[in-house]
Amino acid sequence: MRNLFVSLRAMLFFTIALGLVYPFVTMGVGYTFFNHQATGSMYNENGKTIGSELIGQHMPSNLFQSRPSASDYNAQASGGSNYAINNPEQEKLVKERIEKLQQKYGKNKPVPEDLVFASGSGLDPDITADAAYYQADYIAKVNNIAPNKIYSLIKSNTRYRLFNTDTVNVLELNMDLMKLIHK
């Protein structure tokens, strides 16, 4: 019987410590010292939420485009298509995407893979710097901005990695592009 009470006290202690105290302390530290991250890394403009730097989303055609999404950028239904690389449906989808991209951006450049293949989550917010540069001339043309300004914008938004591919957050890049458009 003594072991039962010791076990119940231990369970009660750990339930309170790990179920109440730890989560509230962690949440308090997060909101106090890392408020932007703790609230979802949201971007607001004029009191309106634009999006999160952590989630990919649809963009208007005059802005940089994210990776394709198998879940149509729905965070509640996130996930990949689960097609194997040799699945006929996957091959058809990839060919269609390549054709659309070449029609829009020109056939003289190879299409970056991350603009053709959806990410595993379907919500990847980043593209490679190569994918951003691939879109640069079109973005400059449709927004009537000098291409060198677009290249500079991409360069300033590129996150350089030591052992990985350099990436660009599409939402952050597009927010800076919008500032450039509305100058």
| Ranges of the chain whose pLDDT falls below 50 | none
CA 53: distance to chain centroid? 6
Total residue length of the chain:
183
Cα separation, 108 vs 137, whole angstroms:
12
Look up the pTM and report it: 0.81
pLDDT at residue 141, as a whole number: 94
pLDDT at residue 30, as a whole number: 93
Cα separation, 126 vs 49, whole angstroms:
19
pLDDT at residue 158, as a whole number: 95
pLDDT at residue 118, as a whole number: 83
Angle between helical axes of 88-105 and 129-143 (0-180°, round to 10): 40
Task: Give the largest CA-CA distance in the chain.
Answer: 81
Q: Which residues pair with 44 in a beta bridge?
A: 49
